[in-house]
């Protein structure tokens, strides 16, 4: 998704803008640009490709006020002409989001004589602000008026070379925060871009607009009413977003999972019991009245939900459904006010998940829980209950540590729900907590399998398709494995519950189709073994992730990798790790851009 950085300071801010954009690279982008107020007007530099190219192109630029942007194409192909900032006369604008009424604005402004040079929706904002300045010369007020004409989701930053030293920023639907300090004031799409200059962050609300100068920040609503927003001291560690010794963020994040899980589970402390309060003060009362659970999420986050469904129904006995957020939000469904709505999201800003949550609430389903990695995000703010996964910033587009920490959070929810429903004995509770606490160590041991997985990865490089099989609570793990492989190695991959094989997909199996199977030693293992025989009989090459005690012998065309520990209910958390490593190493062999796969964005803040 697009990223914004803006600055007004008493020093040259070009290095701050460029550094900020580098920190936002993980969101996904195809072009970048910046505009500053220079001595004789707006100076703009844009480039297609990486921020490093923009950095080189702007090496001689210096200014105390400016805006910068990474663009992820929505309206118009990625090219320099469509890259932000967009300029109209004295002003320049960067924008994140989508302006739905841009065509009518474009027609109106074209009729007034404004000439459009890009295919973007953003350019209409630039001309609209310029047109408004004719009757309202104050930039803050002109942007306020212009924003009221915009339909859609946006975060914008605007500068005017006739009003130097000033940046106006506004948000309605897309994320934007301010970084405030004695030596200057800043704005960005997320805090990681501003940690280089300050930890003091002000989160703008939808409908807020702010004027930043080096000395001051003034925030109002779009109708001009002044508002105060609190300053939060960001706890984000600057080191957490550095690559350190790793080659890629995805690799770093896979290896951070033991720590991420330990941090997430710290909330349980040394106790042998779990209290509902870990989901919020109201959780005990609220959960006692819950008769069903509906999980809403997208992508990888939905896979954690699909896994949890097995836990919630088996251990807690609570009926559970999982819906893809983009489907649920437009579906006519039957609401149940006693149903707990669980929104799962790494970023907490995913447009479809947020809209699905709002839709669920609009149907009178107000018992809501956010499971999220970003405490200040919209999804967290809009839920009655919350559980913050403490995975730390996830930069790689392919989600890894966010997924396993979501699973840990969902297992805690299962235990709390089971307890509230009187379905968990003290002994069972203590055993599960013990297993949870041991997870970081168990994950570490799985990570030691990397070399063997690396060797397997070589054999996938020339493949065009792959099939992932799992059963029961490991079927969603097969789905996650297939998603990881396709998104970063571009190998077409599909997941099936192994029992479905002979109902269609078996027709695809031949020597060119690797079949990856998750085969823990559980009650479905014997059934799975028969499914694997079906593959073997068709000459398919099998790659099996088994447990130490799964009795599956290695043979011609059957490659086995055994996980060190058998982990019962929590086994999905261990079994997804080798699948993450496999995708990572296949992508390395294929030479794809692991952290920024083509066409994908980290935080999908548009529909």
List residues binding ligand F6R (CB under 6 A).
298-301, 345-347, 350, 353, 398-399, 483, 487, 604
* Minimum distance, C-beta of residue 353 to ligand F6R, in the bound complex (Å): 5
Rounded Cα gap, residues 115 and 478, in angstroms: 52
* Minimum distance, C-beta of residue 369 to ligand F6R, in the bound complex (Å): 15
Q: Shortest CA distance to 209 belongs to which of 153, 133, 135, 158? A: 158
The C-alpha torsion from 430 through 436 and 438 to 441, rounded to 10°, is 180
168: part of which helix (H) or strand (E)?
strand 167-172
Q: Which residues contact 432 (CB under 8 A, 6 or more apart)?
A: 411, 415, 569
Contact 587, 333 (CB under 8 A): no
SS3 of the chain: helix, strand, coil, percent, to 5: 40, 25, 35
Nearer to ligand F6R, 96 or 345 (CB): 345
| Residue 602 known to be catalytic | yes
Identify the active-site residue in 2, 320, 372, 383.
2
Nearer to ligand F6R, 220 or 263 (CB): 263
Contact 345, 372 (CB under 8 A): yes
Nearer to ligand F6R, 346 or 571 (CB): 346
| Residue 298 known to be catalytic | no
Residue 232, Cβ density class (10 Å: 0-12 exposed, 13-18 middle, ≥19 buried): middle
Bridge partners of 576? Answer: none
The DSSP bridge pattern shows strands 41-48 and 339-345 to be unpaired
Nearer to ligand F6R, 264 or 531 (CB): 264
Bridge partners of 157? Answer: 94, 169
Q: Shortest CA distance to 151 belongs to which of 107, 108, 99? A: 99
Nearer to ligand F6R, 545 or 584 (CB): 584
Rounded Cα gap, residues 249 and 303, in angstroms: 21
* Minimum distance, C-beta of residue 492 to ligand F6R, in the bound complex (Å): 16
The DSSP bridge pattern shows strands 292-297 and 320-324 to be parallel
* Minimum distance, C-beta of residue 346 to ligand F6R, in the bound complex (Å): 3
Strands (E), 506-577: 514-519, 541-547, 558-563
Identify the active-site residue in 367, 401, 463, 602.
602
Residues in the chain: 607
* Minimum distance, C-beta of residue 162 to ligand F6R, in the bound complex (Å): 40
* Minimum distance, C-beta of residue 311 to ligand F6R, in the bound complex (Å): 19
User: For every residue of 433-444, which 3-state class applies, written as one string?
Assistant: HHHHHHHHHHHH
Contact 376, 404 (CB under 8 A): no
Residue nearest to ligand F6R as judged by C-beta position: 299
Nearer to ligand F6R, 118 or 347 (CB): 347
* Minimum distance, C-beta of residue 111 to ligand F6R, in the bound complex (Å): 39
* Minimum distance, C-beta of residue 575 to ligand F6R, in the bound complex (Å): 17
Bridge partners of 436? Answer: none
Nearer to ligand F6R, 341 or 433 (CB): 341
Nearer to ligand F6R, 18 or 391 (CB): 391
DSSP SS3 for 202: strand
Nearer to ligand F6R, 65 or 347 (CB): 347
Rounded Cα gap, residues 282 and 364, in angstroms: 18
Q: Shortest CA distance to 122 belongs to which of 176, 158, 148? A: 158
* Minimum distance, C-beta of residue 351 to ligand F6R, in the bound complex (Å): 9
Write out the catalytic residue numbers: 2, 602
């Amino acid at each position: 998704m697009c990223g914004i950085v803006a600055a007004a300071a008493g020093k040259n801010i070009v290095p701050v803008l460029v550094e900020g954009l580098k920190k936002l690279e993980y969101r996904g982008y195809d072009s970048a640009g910046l505009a500053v107020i220079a001595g004789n007007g707006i100076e703009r530099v844009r480039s297609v490709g990486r921020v490093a190219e923009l950095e080189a192109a702007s090496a001689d630029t210096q200014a105390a006020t400016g805006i910068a942007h990474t663009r992820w194409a929505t309206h118009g192909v990625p090219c320099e002409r469509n890259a932000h900032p967009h300029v109209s006369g004295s002003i320049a604008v960067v924008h994140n989001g989508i302006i739905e009424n841009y065509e009518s604005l474009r027609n109106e402004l074209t009729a007034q004589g404004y000439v459009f040079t890009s295919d973007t929706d953003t350019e209409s904002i630039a001309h609209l602000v310029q047109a408004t300045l004719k009757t309202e010369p104050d930039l803050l007020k002109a942007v306020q008026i212009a924003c009221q004409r915009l339909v859609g989701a946006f975060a914008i930053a605007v500068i005017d070379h006739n009003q130097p030293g000033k940046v106006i920023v506004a948000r309605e639907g897309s994320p934007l925060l301010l970084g405030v300090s004695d030596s200057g004031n800043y704005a960005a799409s997320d805090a990681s871009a501003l940690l280089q200059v300050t930890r003091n962050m002000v989160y703008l609300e939808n409908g807020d607009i702010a004027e930043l100068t080096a000395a001051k920040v003034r925030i109002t609503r779009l109708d001009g009413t002044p508002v105060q927003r609190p300053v939060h001291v960001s706890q984000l560690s600057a080191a957490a977003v550095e690559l350190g010794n790793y080659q890629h963020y995805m690799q770093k994040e896979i290896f951070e999972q033991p720590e991420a899980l330990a941090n997430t589970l710290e909330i349980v402390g040394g106790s042998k019991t779990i209290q509902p309060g870990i989901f919020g003060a109201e959780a005990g009362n609220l959960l006692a009245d819950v008769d069903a659970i509906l999980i809403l999420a997208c992508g990888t986050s939905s896979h954690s939900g699909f896994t949890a469904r097995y836990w919630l129904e088996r251990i807690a006995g609570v009926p559970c459904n999982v819906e893809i957020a983009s489907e649920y939000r437009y579906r006519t469904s039957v609401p149940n006010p006693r149903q707990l709505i669980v929104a799962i999201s790494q970023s907490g800003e995913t447009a479809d998940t947020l809209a699905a949550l709002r839709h669920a609430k609009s149907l009178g389903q107000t018992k809501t829980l956010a499971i999220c990695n970003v405490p200040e995000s919209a999804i967290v703010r809009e839920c009655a209950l919350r559980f913050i996964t403490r995975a730390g910033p996830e930069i790689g587009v392919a989600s890894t540590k966010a997924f396993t920490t979501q699973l840990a959070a969902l297992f805690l929810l299962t235990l709390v729900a089971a307890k509230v429903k009187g379905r968990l004995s003290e002994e069972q509770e203590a055993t599960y907590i013990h297993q949870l606490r041991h997870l970081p160590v168990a994950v570490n041991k799985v990570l030691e399998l990397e070399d063997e997985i690396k060797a397997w990865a070589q054999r996938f490089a020339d493949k065009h398709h792959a099939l992932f099989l799992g059963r029961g609570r490991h079927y969603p793990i097969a789905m996650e494995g297939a998603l990881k492989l396709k998104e970063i190695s571009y190998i077409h991959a599909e997941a099936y519950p192994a029992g479905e094989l002979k109902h269609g997909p078996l027709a695809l199996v031949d020597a060119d189709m690797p079949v990856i199977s998750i085969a823990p030693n559980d009650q479905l293992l014997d059934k799975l073994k028969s499914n694997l025989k079906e593959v073997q009989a068709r000459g398919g090459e099998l790659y099996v992730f088994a447990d130490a005690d799964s009795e599956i012998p290695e043979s011609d065309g059957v490659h086995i990798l055994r996980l060190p520990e058998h982990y019962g209910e929590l086994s999905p958390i261990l079994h997804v790790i080798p699948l993450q490593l496999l995708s990572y190493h296949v992508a390395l062999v294929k030479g794809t851009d692991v952290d920024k796969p083509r066409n994908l964005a980290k935080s999908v803040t548009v529909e």
